[in-house]
Amino acid sequence: MKTAKITLLLCLVTLLSYGNVSTKEKEALKALYTSTNGDLWRTSWDFNKPVQDWHGVVVKDDKVIELNLEFNNLRGTLPDAIGDLVYLKHINFFRNKISGGIPATISNLKSLETLNISFNMLSSALPNEIGELKSLRKLKLFMNTINGEIPSSIGQLTNLNSLELYNNQLTGELPSSVGDLVNLKEMLLSSNKLSGKLPSTIANAKELKKLSVFDNNFFGTLPNSICSLTQLEELVISDNAFYGKLPNAMANLVNLKVLLLGNNDFKGELVQLKEQLPGLVQFDFVNMNSEGVIVTLDEEDDN
């Protein structure tokens, strides 16, 4: 009888330790721990403690809703089982050493609002399934070595307000579907290997305040449609292969504070633009690769 009571007590302790977090979620957390060398984490998990006491794990109503494991020395790849954490709203793996890619199973995380895996060692192309994260508001994957193209499915993230993919190895053209990101406020794509023309559809992202594509291989003239982004405060397009004259409606960008155009092949006279945008606090058009490059306002056809 005494043995039975002790056994029952141990079972009760185990149950209370895990609460009612589902077995599937617990196993997914353990898979993450294993695949990222949890024993080497700065702060590891004690599986004998309740899930809500595991470092960086936030549990609400017996569901895992956040993983905050920034600066925690995660080394390895993300397991497919991460897709079993279906109630996640926020993932923050900033500044670790996660390699490989984002599993296609990420598409299961329909409630995810923030995905931050910046400053890691991701190298694989972004999965098309990333477009299925319909609740996503912030996508931060900067400072990795992600290759391949930005999938056109990115345009399905209509709740997105911040897209930060700078300092990677992304190639190909910027998909026209970015124009579907109607709530986007920041698009930061600098220091990649992106090419082609800026799509005229970008003008549909009316809420855009920051657009940075410097240090890429973009070329062609700027589309006239960019001048309809009247909320723009920062336009940084230096160190590309843009050419020709700027659209004459650039003066419509009355909220512009930062305009960096240098190291392209724009032509013409610049003084007029400076005068028509009195709010500029940072303005650079110097071409370090050739002499005498100035720009002016003039009409150009949309690409």
Q: Read off the pLDDT of residues 212-262 as tens digits, 9 standing for 90 and up.
A: 999 999 999 999 999 999 999 999 999 999 999 988 899 899 999 999 999
User: What pTM, to 2 d.p., does this model score?
Assistant: 0.89
CA–CA dist 145, 219 (Å, integer): 23
Residue 236 lies inside a defined structural domain of this protein: yes
Q: Rounded to the nearest 5 degrees, what angle is found at the Cα of 192, between the Cα atoms of 281 and 255? A: 25
Closest CA to 191 of 175, 160, 213: 213
Q: Please report, for the domain that includes residue 157, its CATH number.
A: 3.80.10.10
Residue 303 lies inside a defined structural domain of this protein: no
Tokens of 252: 């419509």
Residue 258 lies inside a defined structural domain of this protein: yes
pLDDT score at 11: 43
Residue 231 lies inside a defined structural domain of this protein: yes
- Whether the Cβ atoms of residue 96 and residue 122 lie closer than 8 Å to each other: no
Residue 29 lies inside a defined structural domain of this protein: no
Residue 193 lies inside a defined structural domain of this protein: yes
Residue 73 lies inside a defined structural domain of this protein: no
Q: Taking all residues of the chain, what is their mean pLDDT, rounded to a whole number?
A: 90
CA 26 to chain centre: 27
List, for residues 22-69, the tens digit of each pLDDT value. 999 999 999 999 999 999 999 999 999 999 999 999 999 999 999 999
pLDDT score at 270: 62
Overall domain count for the chain: 1
Q: 173: domain range?
A: 147-298
- Residue 274: is its pLDDT beyond 90? no
Residue 155 lies inside a defined structural domain of this protein: yes
